[in-house]
Amino acid sequence: MKLIHVVGARPNFAKIAPIMRAVYEYKTIEQVLVHTGQHYDENMSKCFFEELGIPEPDVNLGVGSGLHGEQTGEIMKRFEQFLMNDHGDIILVVGDVNSTIACGLVACKLHIPLAHVEAGLRSFDRRMPEEINRLLTDAISDYLFTPAEEANENLINEGIPEEKIYLVGDVMIDTLIWEMERLEDLDKPLFKDLNNKEYAVLTLHRPSNVDDPRVFKGIMKALNTIAEDIKIIFPAHPRTKKRMKEFQIYTDNDNFRITDPLSYRDFLRLYRNSRFVLTDSGSIQQETTYLNIPCLTIRGNTERPFTISKGTNILVGVDPEKIVRESKKILAGEEKKSVGFTLWDGKAAERIVKILYEGF
């Protein structure tokens, strides 16, 4: 059995890593790691490979950035050419980036079984490119591996046969647990002048938040107000920095610190020891719920509503007043607690590989 894993962007590495480690327990499974090159930073990518315990990709398609249609088409073209020479038995894709749907379509048209990890997540907002990628990938997948019961319900409501759906838990939690067990300085502050639980962490990168100067300036106004009460550490995405310069957006408080992007382990140390997190990311909503850290999501919706109903997450949208108000509540001790998830036990990847192996 040959299993071909596909990654396209840095967040995909953390999702694929536990699956690749689980495959090593099966001597009869050959695995190949394909990086489409959708997002690629040689220094940061190498750091991620080393920290997550996965090898350098066997293949890098080198697609690079571009418009959605252009990028998706180029990934399909190059991945199809690769499969013509190295035909796998199962193609495994993760998440919701353009590489996910592009490689999924190629697999489907070549009649190669397709496995989708993080299936069933829905924001119900089709203006999000990721939502389209999720919907289409799930519609053509043969194995749909879900992180929570709500994801199963979404798929069943869309008419996906139940025999294709497997509730396995969250591979991001697998990686989180694996890293925490191996990180010696986990409780040590990342920066010398920080004390644990005396700062907040910010991530902000979604085009809907940073490409509209009115929205971006409103968010930053709220964040500057919050920084009057607590330090904010912001590992900024290069694209976000570019927009800040373009829109002449500045931090006007010494408590507001912008840093370069961090490795997985450094970022884990940073947010695990924080008072709370402000984010527009997806996976951080899950990780903060697992760690029982308050999370304010700067979006109008989330594809992970279970982090709200059962976790520590609160949707604050882009309303500056609400962002400030909910932050002040946390600082005053009013925060949500996570009730936990039964399959978030660090063994989701093991369940995935066992299902694929036994079904082959």
Phi–psi pair at 142, nearest 5 degrees? -95, -30
Does the active-site annotation cover 205?
yes
Residue 41: other Cβ atoms inside 10 A: 12
Count of all residues that appear for the chain in the document:
360
Catalytic position from the list 35, 68, 87, 205: 205
Are the CB atoms for 308 and 314 separated by under 8 Å? yes
Are the CB atoms for 103 and 33 separated by under 8 Å? no
**Residues acting as catalytic residues:** 205
